[in-house]
Structures are given as C-alpha cells and as structure tokens.
Chain A
Amino acid sequence: MSHISPTIWQFLVKWMTNFALFPPEASKIAPQMDALYFFIALVSLIGLTIVILLVVSFSILYSKERHPNAVQIEGSTLLEATWTIIPLGLFLVMFVWGALIYFRVYTPPANAMNIYVVGKQWMWKAEHEGGQHEINSLHVPTGRAVQLTMISQDVFHSFSIPAFRVKREAIPGRYTTVWFEATLPGTYHLFCTQYCGTNHSQMIGDVVVLSPEDFKQWLASSTSGASLAQDGERLFASLSCAACHNTRPDARGPSLANVYGAKLTLTSGQAITADDAYLREAILNPSQHITQGYAPIMPTYQGQVSEEGVIALVEYIKHLDSDYRVQQTTTTTDLLPEGGGKATPAGPAPAAAGKVNP
C-alpha cells in the first residue's frame, strides 16, 4: 500500500473519482497500481516542470535583446552523465516496481476461485463452476481471489475491468488468465478493449461485486441446475472418452482421476504439469501430448467440441478424484452397440477411402 498518509490518499483518489478524472479503486491490486501510476506522474511532472522552467528562463535571460552575443559552448560531460544516469535510474525503478505488479496480476494464487470466460463477436460469456452462466456480466464476491480463465471463439478480444485495473487479451487457440480480489461492492464497467469488428463498442457489460452472502444468494438463484463439471461429465460420456480413459487393466488411455495439477512425463520425454492449457491441448491436439507409456492413438476432437464444451470437459477432469462414475459409464457404453457415441472407436486412424477434409 502507499506510504503516504491514508487520509491524503483517500482524498486524492475519492476527489478525482468524484470529478470523473480517475476510476474507482475496487480491487486489492488497484491501489498498488495507482501508487506506481502516481509515482510516474510525479516524476513526469517534475521532469516537465524542469524542462519548461529551463526553457522559459533561458528564453528570457538569453533573448537577443538581453544577450546579443551567444557564447559557444561545446558541451559538458558532467551534465550529459547527469541527465543520462538520473532518468535511467528513475526509469529502472519504475521498471522493477512495474514488473512486480505485472507478475502479481498474472500469477493467480492457488486457491483462487475460477471463472471461465469465453469471448466471441460480440459478447462475453462467463461460466461459473457451479454452472451459472452470464452474458456480458460478471458477478464476483468481495474478499475472495477470483481467477479468470479466458479464451476467444473467433478473433482477439480483451477483457478489461478498469475499476480493478486488470485487463487481459482473450485469444483464439489458447487460454489466458488473470486474477483479482474485489474489495468494494458495486457495479463497474466491463469493456472489450481489443478492436474486434463491427460491434466492438457494444461488447461491454457490468461487473457486479457482491458481499460474500449476497454472492452466495446470487449463485443459488442463477444456477441452471447442472454445474460445469456435470456438463462435462455428460460430454465425456457422449464422446465415449471412457472407452480408453478408464481403470481397466487393458485401458488404452491413462485414468484421469486426480490428473489435474499432477506432474506428467510425455512420450517425448518432456515433463509437464497437467494444467488447464495442457488438458485443452490434449483434447484438441493429442499427438504431442500423450503420456509416456501409452500408444499415440487418441483422436483429435478439434471441430467436434466447442470451446465451451472443452471448458466443461476441463472442469469435469479438474474435479475428478475417483473413477467410480467413469466405471459406471464404461459399463453402460459396453452394453451399447460398437461405436456408440460420436467418437471414433479406439485403434489407428482408419484409412479413409476418399479425401479427408480436415
């Protein structure tokens, strides 16, 4: 937090906010970022004042009437060194301070509550773990770390909450994350800040910060019934993932219980942590993400499952701590005719007779 008197700080920020010159501070990181902002502003102001003072006073003192004969001065190494080293020093302070804040904003704590955000032209879809879905709005509680795991379905978008001082691009093809902890209940702007086509300026909404009790109420009242993980379980069954990913001794794929967060070794020898990004890639581009010891036979689901579907699957796998229910669905699939569900049966990719359209 800032080291200047809290009273002055409050006065400064509140006054500027009331005069619509400064956004409200509604997250834990906001005052930290503002402190840096004011520091840079102060240095800029001082620098500008020095330059203006010097230029104005030299212009007066050395105007042609006052000082008709110019004195040729080659330079001064001392001055050059001074105005190189001091700005450099100040800039480096800003660099370090800024880097600390940057890392803080983009390194979510382990216990953060996760909300998935999918951006598409021209709306934001937020999905809470309990299955609550929101469009162009985001309800969050105070006092709790909230992580946003984001992806875009089409072009680059950028999820921005000025009152929290956070912003992150949502791009197609990979997850991006940002986190915050809201501190002040209220409603704040949500903007898309990466130009994304016709209705870019309509891709806005509200971030509603509620007290923890109000948030619990909101969760209860807006659930559609199934949580994301339950949606994921349904998808897992309908895509016949359990045909390989089960606990049978001859299982063709690894069991997925407790795999989230585990350290895995891939067939290439590379050691990775099974996080959201890995799980997504393993579903869409499996050949490079096969666990060591298993044959590279997992087919890709690119084109068969949407980003929301992938999110549901990832959520499901995240919460999978036993294969009990997987066993149940395996047994059921066994009873169905061969190839039940949309996925291709296990085995090498069949040689299609004609052209394969990707």
Chain B
Amino acid sequence: MPDSSAIDHGAVTTAGDAHAEHPSYQRHHFETVEQQADASAFAMWLFLLTEVMFFGGLFTAYLIYRNWYYPAFVSASHQLNVVWGTLNTVVLILSSFTMAMGVWCAETRRRRGLVLCLTLTMTLGLVFLGIKTVEYKEKIEKHHVPGQHYSLQSFLDPAHDEAALAAGDKPLALDMARHTEIYFSLYFAMTGMHALHMIIGIGILAFMIFRARAGAYTGGHVTFVENFGFYWHFVDLVWIYLFALLYLISRHQ
C-alpha cells in the first residue's frame, strides 16, 4: 500500500536538504540554530513584557494611592531603612554585572569563568534575600505587617519611634494614620512579588551552575544563559524602580 506521505503534494517543494549537519542541541522543528536562538530570545522578551504588565498593576495602584494619601505614604516610607535598601540595590546591580560577565564567558566558551560568574550571581542574589529578610523581620517586630496585628503607633507618636524621629516626622491624625496600612500592603505585595521572582531566579541559577560545570553552555549553545540573563536584568530593573518609589521618594521634605 503506497504511503501517501510519499506523494508529491505540490506545495511541498524542496528547499534543499539542510538536515545533514546540525548541532545536537538544535531541536527538530527548527531549520537552523539561528532560527532557534532568535525564536527563544524573542519568546523571552515577550515573557518579560507580560511581567511588565503584571508588575504594572501594582505600580498603578501604588501611584494612585500615593496621590490620594500623600502624608501617610511619606511617613510610612520613612520606616524603611535606606541603608539596607541602597545596599540591596548595589548588590543587585553587581549581580547583573556578574551575570553579564557570565553570558560573555558562555559565548567565549570559558567554562570555569561561567561557573564562577553564575556562582557569584547566585551568591549576590542570596545576599539580597538575606537583607530583605532582615528588613521584613524588622517590619514584623514593629507590627507594620498589614492585617490583624497592624499597629499605628509609630505614626501617631513618632517621637517614640527611631525611624520616624530621625526623619523628623510629625504625628499623623488617626484617619490619615490608618492609610499607612495601604502603603505597607503595597510594599509587601511589590517587594514580595519581586522576592518571589528572585527566588525562582536563584533556583534556576543553581540548576545552571550544575549544568555549566558539565559544559552544557560552553559548547556553542548559549541561548539558555543569554535568556536567563534577560530575566535577571529585568528583575534587577524592577528592583531599581521599587527602590526609587518605595524608599527614596520624599525622603527629604
């Protein structure tokens, strides 16, 4: 019985047989490695666009409420430690640098360099999370976590609160003080989402270090490292926006 797939269907004219030699990492549905790399980079950019829309909702909410409850947001933002925040920013920017170095190492086939850079990136990421833990712990202790145990004390009586005193805050009226809870809701939602993305990134970095040691990314197939680089830089960029909006705005009245 003739196999119908052997019949020339007219439209399916040959374009030359390109299958013969293709790298082992080229998937079968792509015609060339370039097409594969191109497609996956494009896909990563698109995915990052969805992330922008995701964080965008939070940023919009933040900007609206900041506009409505300005004094509350100013006082609440003074509760954040700018030193820790700046340190975190430096740490992340450094990690973006090490990540970029890692991509270069992959492209220039430096296996040990790549492993080093990825390890440094992951370490810096962990440092970031460590600092965030310290900050969150402080928030929990001062009852600034929204919900049942939220306390308005620091805002009604700034004279007895270190951070508020240092910033020279005036006491807020009760109704305005209540709105500080919204600030912290958004603070935790935004930095929490960001931290979640960091944790996922660190997980992937661990996986990548393991594979990099085996030479998976220094044999010409750099797409995974490059695309992860995009992701990591994006997470860094989101942090810079968060740092500016949450920590820095209205720091000095």
Contact = CB atoms under 8 A, between A and B. Distances in A.
Check A-B contact in the complex, CB < 8 A: yes
B178 A351 contact: no
A78 interface: no
A299 B156 contact: no
Interface stretch (B89-97, B145-153, B200-208): B145-153
A355 B157 CA distance: 11
A358 to B, nearest CB: 5
B175 A352 contact: no
Interface residues of A, number: 18
B160 to A, nearest CB: 7
B158 to A, nearest CB: 10
Interface string A336-358: 00000000000011011001101
Nearest to B181: A358
Does more than half of chain A's interface fall in helix, strand or loop, or is it mixed? Answer: loop
B153 A355 contact: yes
A286 B150 contact: no
B152 A358 contact: yes
Interface string B165-179: 000000111111110
B171 A287 contact: no
Contact of B151 (A285, A349, A356): A356
A229 interface: no
A287 B176 contact: yes
A286 B151 contact: no
B160 A300 contact: no
Contacts of B176: 285, 287-288
A349 B160 contact: no
Interface in B154-194: 156-157, 159-160, 171-178, 181
A300 B173 contact: yes
Contacts of A351: 156-157, 159-160
A355 B160 contact: no
B71 interface: yes
B156 A349 contact: yes
A299 B171 CA distance: 13
Nearest to B149: A355
B233 interface: no
B156 A286 contact: no
Nearest to A302: B175
Contacts of A285: 175-176
B156 A356 contact: yes
Contacts of A352: 153, 156-157
A349 B153 contact: no
A352 B174 CA distance: 12
A115 interface: no
Given A351-B156, A351-B157, A358-B150, A299 B143 contact: no
Of residues B69, B150, B153, B175, which shows the largest number of chain A Cβ atoms within 10 Å of its Cβ?
B175
A284 B152 contact: no
A296 interface: yes
Contacts of B157: 351-352
Nearest to A354: B153
B143 A287 contact: no
A53 B171 CA distance: 74
A296 B173 CA distance: 8
Contacts of A349: 156, 171, 173-174
Interface in A282-300: 284-288, 296-300
Given A356-B152, A358-B152, A287 B160 contact: no
Contacts of B177: 358
Nearest to B151: A355
A290 to B, nearest CB: 9
Interface in B194-241: none
Contact of B171 (A298, A348, A358): A348
Nearest to A352: B156
Contacts of B181: 358
A287 B152 contact: no
A28 to B, nearest CB: 37
Nearest to A288: B176
Contact of A299 (B69, B152, B160, B173): B173
Interface in A93-149: none
A25 B150 CA distance: 53
Given A355-B151, A355-B153, A358-B152, A286 B160 contact: no
Contact of B173 (A286, A355, A358): A286
Contact of B153 (A286, A288, A298, A356): A356
Contacts of A348: 171
B151 to A, nearest CB: 5
A284 B173 contact: no
Contacts of A356: 151-153, 156, 174
For B69, B143, B172, B176, the residue with the greatest tally of chain A CB atoms inside 10 Å of its CB is B176
Contacts of B172: 287
A299 B151 CA distance: 18
B156 A284 contact: no
A349 B159 CA distance: 13
A177 to B, nearest CB: 21
Q: Which 3 A-B pairs have the closest CB atoms?
A: A300-B175, A287-B173, A287-B176
8 contacts: A286-B173, A287-B176, A300-B174, A351-B157, A352-B156, A355-B151, A358-B152, A358-B181
Interface of B: 69, 71, 143, 150-153, 156-157, 159-160, 171-178, 181
Given A349-B173, A351-B159, 15 more contacts: A285-B175, A286-B175, A287-B71, A288-B69, A288-B176, A297-B173, A298-B173, A299-B174, A300-B173, A300-B175, A351-B160, A352-B157, A356-B152, A358-B178, A358-B181
Interface of A: 284-288, 296-300, 302, 348-349, 351-352, 355-356, 358
